[in-house]
Structure 1
């Protein structure tokens, strides 16, 4: 063997020796793209980047996260919809993109069930009901009583179409008149809540955690399947209003329709393994999610079922489609 050939063989064998093992590269692509249809820094963006790191560790594939924010996630979803159906492009699926948007927009340019296949599920998270730390109300009952004594004087912040639903629903279920205040960014709403010009906000536990743990804001209730382990004294909203059965935020991974079945299954197996084992399992639980393994069939059923539930939430909230 020539010296040059010997050198090449040694390099190749070294690469094989250090390559990740246990999972083949789904679709055989050296690089995967994860499209996040929202701005950097939110719970979805954080979770997508954690997933990307673990995919690289398990398969050796490079993962590029691309943020495509705008129009309640619609811009990013359209980008993913027209991406190649070969398993090289993944998309962060959220409550907004897959569950709420079909009921909030009349002419939605995509169908979450017909145009995409869900291949992974990070779990359903929790949502905080946050007020100023110096507010005169310490419980949800106190807040509702205060709102009834001051009709149309209190407000709530929302930063996209789907985040308007919780406030509109509590108006109907509690018989109060909170005034909606739209924001372009969640950070601006948080600052106003801290400053006292905003009365309440409904925000996912990932975005709200640092504010609550630092004492800047007070959580008077939470939405989700169970109380947060980190905040066991924060009651669920359903403990006061049983009909308020809105689940916490959903996050998952979808691919454009048409990806080969073998690649779908490989992605499902890979993501299930990542989200239900450490380190990502513990990371997700700290963020308020409850990760579990779901098959492709179970994921399809989840979208169908929860999409119908969010239709009922929009009806209860009396929100007219845009």
Structure 2
């Protein structure tokens, strides 16, 4: 009898410990979080991710690690996240490249930007600048157009991401110039070749191009934003010369499809706090990043759908054929 009671006690005790372990395991997060970035270290998105995720780590009480998986215009990283377990420990900080442009740029995209991801929060906008090699005798967009028309087929532009490609092709189409696009794997490599003269123009994100522009290694001649940037007060918006140019490069955080609502809320709340922090904003401002958080995951989801439609129209109008 005593042995039987002892065994029952062990069973009850074991169930109690198992219940406690389960309760502890349900507290999110209780392990490091990985944030996949689809561009190389040194790119604008990478720089933004490292600033924001450092603060998010403080808010959630766990390390938040940046995992760079560049290549194939963000497709490699996107496919990796799609296959990840939807438990909140694999997130995706990405841009319009993977979620707005790729569906129109590639014939056989192996992910759906809407169905295969859970939107968590938009973080903001990363302005791009049209920069040229210092040896090119142009100082504004109109001079570039005039030079390109006088030297058809002699200029080339770097394109390490869809924003650079679509912006450049849109300028080509509206202005009626003949410029060759050269694909690159990363923003830093593109900037290196712009400085060296291997390419003559490059629509570069400020996160990776600010330093080279500020030190005079390349010349900025236009910004993609509707209004001039305070960092470049003498550089006019491209739309002022190229009528109809309308391009926004957004940045946001997703999880795989099926991410539980409570985890989405936990990460969204942490990101809202991180993005409201004055020190974070100051550091992002140095990168040229404009903080512009969505108020809710649903607002971000609606925005992603709108941007997908907008970029689809942009790419079609630019005459870019899917590869």
Both proteins in one fold, TM over 0.5: yes
SS where residue 111 of structure 1 aligns?
coil
SS where residue 190 of structure 2 aligns?
helix
2: distance between equivalents of 1:70 and 1:54? 27
2: distance between equivalents of 1:287 and 1:299? 23
1: distance between equivalents of 2:320 and 2:227? 27
Query: Per the alignment, do residues 67 and 26 of structure 1 end up closer, same or farther by CA in structure 2, a change over 3 Å counting?
Result: farther
Equivalent in the alignment of 1:47: 48
Equivalent in the alignment of 1:10: none
SS where residue 278 of structure 2 aligns?
coil
**TM superposition outliers: structure 1 runs of 4+ over 6 Å:** none
Q: Which has the larger radius of gyration?
A: 2
Does residue 166 in structure 1 map to residue 167 in structure 2?
A: yes
Query: Per the alignment, do residues 94 and 293 of structure 1 end up closer, same or farther by CA in structure 2, a change over 3 Å counting?
Result: closer
Q: Normalized against structure 1, the TM-score is what?
A: 0.87
Equivalent in the alignment of 2:214: 213
Instruction: State the aligned residue count.
Output: 297
Q: Normalized against structure 2, the TM-score is what?
A: 0.87
**C-alpha displacement of 1:160:** 4.0
1: distance between equivalents of 2:163 and 2:291? 23
**Which string of whole-angstrom CA distances, capped at 9 and with x for unpartnered residues, describes residues 204-249 of structure 1?**
11111111100111100010243221111111111112300112x2
Mapping for residues 303-322 of structure 1, pairs under 5 Å: 303-322=304-323
Mapping for residues 108-119 of structure 1, pairs under 5 Å: 108-119=109-120
2: distance between equivalents of 1:42 and 1:219? 18
**C-alpha displacement of 1:92:** 1.1
SS where residue 58 of structure 2 aligns?
helix
Mapping for residues 66-145 of structure 1, pairs under 5 Å: 66-145=67-146
Tell me, which stretches of 5 or more residues in structure 1 are unaligned?
A: 1-24
2: distance between equivalents of 1:123 and 1:320? 29
2: distance between equivalents of 1:193 and 1:70? 20
Question: Residue 48 of structure 2 contacts residue 207 of structure 2 at CA under 8 Å; is this kept in 1?
Answer: no
Tell me, which stretches of 5 or more residues in structure 2 are unaligned?
A: 1-25
Question: Residue 210 of structure 2 contacts residue 288 of structure 2 at CA under 8 Å; is this kept in 1?
Answer: no
**C-alpha displacement of 1:182:** 2.4
2: distance between equivalents of 1:278 and 1:26? 29
